[in-house]
Amino acid sequence: MIAASDKVEEQIDEETEFGFWLYLMSDAVLFSLLFGTFAVMSSNLAGGPGGSALFDMKNLATQTALLLVSSLTIALAHHAAHTGHLARTLGWLVVTCLLGAGFLGLEIKELSGFVAQDAGPGRSGYLSAFFTLVGTHGLHVTAGLIWAMTLIAQFLIKGIGLRMTSRLYRLTLFWHFLDIVWIGVFSLVYLPEFL
């Protein structure tokens, strides 16, 4: 086996991180189009229920709190990896996963509740746009969870190295990005219904 030297490795990681920023930019365009579509369709209720009839403040607050705290914990995981603490890195990653899974669980409960009340995505244009926007965010969180669990396994096998820190850095970026998108969802989708 031939290992690339640290310098080459660092350069490869830097390129990958730059590429990942570009991916996030592309993904941001995707989300902004979903937000735009939601705005266009926000009054297309077609006689169905609107957000004010469906949304539950407590659920929303818990979801938001879970996701925001998970952003802090993943930053702590990244910091721990950066300073070379394997156990701490793993610990914070596990906490992040739990918080993310909690968020996802609440989201699934909320959305399946809507479907049960005959307010599924096929009910109206408004609900199609709502389910697609929130669902896309949820799918991203799911992908983030799978990624985080993969990284946990890799940290256990490979320990902390340049390549692993770079991977965790990218996951951290991704996770913060999802947080920002959620703040958009919170402010543009949910909040107006409570005002």
Residues that bind other proteins in the complex, under the rule CB under 8 A: 1-5, 7-8, 14-16, 18-19, 22-23, 25-27, 29-30, 33-34, 37, 40-41, 44-46, 48, 121-126, 128-129, 131-132, 146, 150, 154, 157-158, 163, 167
Q: How far is the CB of 21 from other proteins (least distance, A)?
A: 9
Minimal distance in Å, beta carbon 68 to other proteins?
Answer: 26
Nearer to other proteins, 128 or 165 (CB): 128
Cα(62)–Cα(151) distance, integer angstroms: 26
- Nearest distance in Å: CB 72, other proteins: 26
Instruction: State the nearest-atom distance from the C-beta of 83 to other proteins, in Å.
Output: 23
CA 17-23-26 angle, 5° bins: 150
Residue closer to other proteins by CB (options 59, 142) is 142
59 versus 128: smaller Cβ distance to other proteins: 128
Give the rounded distance of the alpha carbon of 15 from its chain centre: 23
Q: Which is nearer to other proteins, 60 or 129 (CB)?
A: 129
Task: Kindly write down the DSSP assignment for every residue of 144-189, as one continuous string.
Answer: HHHHHHHHHHHHHHH-S-HHHHHHHHHHHHHHHHHHHHHHHHIIII
Question: The dihedral of CA 44, 189, 147, 102: what is its sign?
Answer: negative
Whether the CB-CB separation of 110 and 120 falls below 8 Å is answered with: no
Q: Which residue lies nearer to other proteins by CB, 53 or 61? A: 53
d(CA 11, CA 14): 5
The residues, any chain, with a CB within 8 Å of residue 115's CB and separated by 6 or more, are: 121
Q: How far is the CB of 191 from other proteins (least distance, A)?
A: 22
Q: For other proteins, give the closer residue by CB, 12 or 72.
A: 12
Q: How far is the CB of 121 from other proteins (least distance, A)?
A: 5
Number of residues written out for the chain: 195
